[in-house]
Amino acid sequence: MRRFARSAVISASVWALVGGAGLAIAQTATTPADPKASTSAPAAPAAPAAPAPDAKAPDAKATDTQNADPSAADTQGDGDVSISEVPDVQTEELTADLAKKAIDGYKMVHDKYQDSPLEDYQDLQEFVDKDPKGKQFETDIKGFGFTSVNDWNLAVSSVSIAYNNILDDQTSDIKQQIEDVQKSTDMAQDMKDRTIKSLQASIPSENNTKIIQELIKDKDYGEKIKLLESTEE
């Protein structure tokens, strides 16, 4: 379930990688979650691979790898980072109904599959395809009206990002990080583009923020949504 929550604070994951690539930037974002938030891979309770839920990330220190290829695979240590390691964060515009279904699905997963090794799989679809409980998991998620587990993962990741940003607004920090990446001369362009895309996706839209603010006040969902709070691992 840890991977679901990571999508809520994805910028920290991105910056842990960026720092390793030789970009000296002070990092103040909270550490997430891995739900990857994408339609092709989850990570809601994680990079969710799926979702659920804050530890402050340490400041990124300047490294001595500025002459290394920042898009190269990690072959000599933490200084080399592959673009494939930068989370591909995606979100979508929510409706009140979609957000409620995503939260209901998350609570079900939290209660029924909390002991399942979701974090051991690359994404939720791989869990569905390979784990003995995968097909039942897929059936349960589709029962909430989602066409696929990744469809649900995208929705719950969008909810999680908006909710956690309401609890701890990182917008200014993330925008500063985007500006620093844009100015950087130490990153390969492909890694720079993907990092900026992921950071931008971790800023919730005004629509999503408003919808989640209303759900926080809802007597039926105010407690359920707390399951998505980022927690220290």
pLDDT tens digit string along 66-82? 444 444 444 344 445 55
pLDDT tens digits along 30-55: 333 344 333 333 334 333 433 433 33
Scanning the structure block, which residue is given the tokens 């989640």?
A: 212
- Provide the CB-side half-sphere exposure for 202 (13 A, CA): 41
Q: What is the pLDDT of residue 83?
A: 56
* 166 band by pLDDT with thresholds 50, 70 and 90: very high
Dmax over CA atoms of the chain, in Å, equals 55
DSSP bridge pairs for 44: none
Q: Calculate the CA 182 to chain-centre distance.
A: 21
Q: Are 2 and 46 in contact (CB under 8 A)?
A: yes
Dist. CA 49–CA 106, nearest whole Å: 13
**What are the angstrom distances between the C-alpha of 205 and each of 56, 142, 177?**
23, 26, 18
